[in-house]
Amino acid sequence: MENHQILSKPEVFHRSPFLSTVLTHDWQREPATGYQPRDPPPLSVADGVAEEGGRQSFGEKPCNRPGFLLYEAGMSAFSDPSSLLGLAFGLALAAALAGFLAGLFGIGGGAIYVPVLYQTYQWLEVPESVAMHLAVGTSIAIIVPTSLRSLLAHLKRDAVDRKLLKEWLVAVPLGSIAGALFAADASSASLRGIFAVLAGLIGLKLLAGRITWQIGQDLPGLAGRSLAGLLIGFLSALIGIGGGVLNNTFMTLYGRPMIQAVATSAGVGALISLPGLVTYILGGWDDPLLPALSLGYVSLSSVALIAPVSLIAVPMGASLAHRLSRRHLEIGFGLFLLIVAARFAYSLA
């Protein structure tokens, strides 16, 4: 029989400034009372508890017990009501801004959600190996209602290219599923790097605003449009955005009005987020490093806080989009993307 060092719960966690707790329930059938939990067995090094620099932590080895891994991180900060209030206010403010931009630019808001959520999860000491994946998956979940709300607002103004959306009913969702599957196996740094590069390139293009950047006066043929939809779905789900970033660029490069690109992007966001959400849930289903109240790579608590605020702000952005000129939209969108790209590039430094 192997000899493993047995660590009691206090010995595992008492030296850590940030408390981690494993909630494990070994369920057994009792004749009179049905399912009854019993106390979990002592934790050992064999269960994935590793000692690193005098601090006990859970390594990448999955815990083979049923239950949730709950990170009660930063308890000293959470014990202060003002810290809790500040965190909630910051997330709500980001939600309002993302919802406004979703209506204004036809984006899902992921370019705001992802960096804000990633930073929040880092502060809560969610492991680096899942923090970015959780931010991306949660962003996709929030984009579902936000993009649908934005699409309805733009449909009322009859600015959406319905024909293009119908042609993309298969291509975009397929790309979204492929992107989410790829992201599940990618590293956190890789996802952040891809996000920064794409956002920076598109932001520079929009700020330049040169007519010579146009590829044609109308969209390509069906095969070209389908390939574009597949690529837009893949890249968007990969980095947790609603596709507006890429679709706006695609449509304007082929001479479509910016306002039509913005309106159509809201529909693209719905085609990306719905299948992407399911894939991110399934992709992170057995990950033992995820915090409590997570459904795969989706944080239900974050969705519950952010989504309602974003939905309120969407119509305001959509209304403003129809009052601004194309150039104003391009400049605003370009600056926004460069800020996001710089933030992610800084996180890699």
**Domain residue limits, the chain:** 6-72, 87-348
Q: What is the pLDDT of residue 80?
A: 53
Place of tokens 């923090």: 131
Alpha-helical (H) ranges within the chain are 9-13, 75-78, 81-105, 110-123, 128-155, 162-167, 171-185, 188-208, 222-239, 244-253, 258-283, 300-321, 326-348
d(CA 266, CA 234): 16
Please report, for residues 79, 149, 206, 215, 247, the alpha-carbon distance to residue 158 in angstroms, rounded to integers and kept in the order given.
50, 15, 24, 26, 18
Q: What is the pLDDT of residue 11?
A: 38
347 in Cβ contact with 192 (< 8 Å): yes
DSSP state of 295: S
Q: What is the pLDDT of residue 46?
A: 43
- Taking the chain (349 residues) in consecutive chunks of 10 residues, what is each chunk's mean pLDDT? 43 34 36 42 44 38 35 41 66 79 73 82 84 91 87 86 94 96 86 84 77 76 94 91 84 86 90 94 89 89 86 80 73 82 80
pLDDT digits (tens, 9 = 90+) for 60-73: 444 333 333 333 43
86 in Cβ contact with 48 (< 8 Å): no
Q: What is the pLDDT of residue 192?
A: 80
Q: What is the pLDDT of residue 167?
A: 94
Q: What is the pLDDT of residue 44?
A: 44
d(CA 340, CA 197): 10
d(CA 132, CA 120): 11
DSSP state of 47: G
